[in-house]
Structure 1
């Protein structure tokens, strides 16, 4: 999946990847075109929210 953001703000750049993905999946839920898209988007959102944040090499949580 390729994600493009035309106007990237500093706030967006500073968000951890996991938080960015959650926002993107929430947007997909909000903009679902039909019941099938809505169900898929909700499943994907639940999966990413259930996944614990990973630690990077420096010990910081992403």
Structure 2
């Protein structure tokens, strides 16, 4: 019986080898996805609201007169 000239058939497979799957992402509930996220305190928010309100009132005042 004559042998094949293309080498061993055991070296070739029908399925392609799959790359390894990445590890699942751990999600901590109740925390921002970006740990560098900074939340401003209530006093900083109040100061921003007051400044924005003053800017709106002044712009309306100067627009009217």
How does the TM-score come out when normalised to structure 1? Answer: 0.32
Tell me which protein shows more helix as a share of its residues: 1
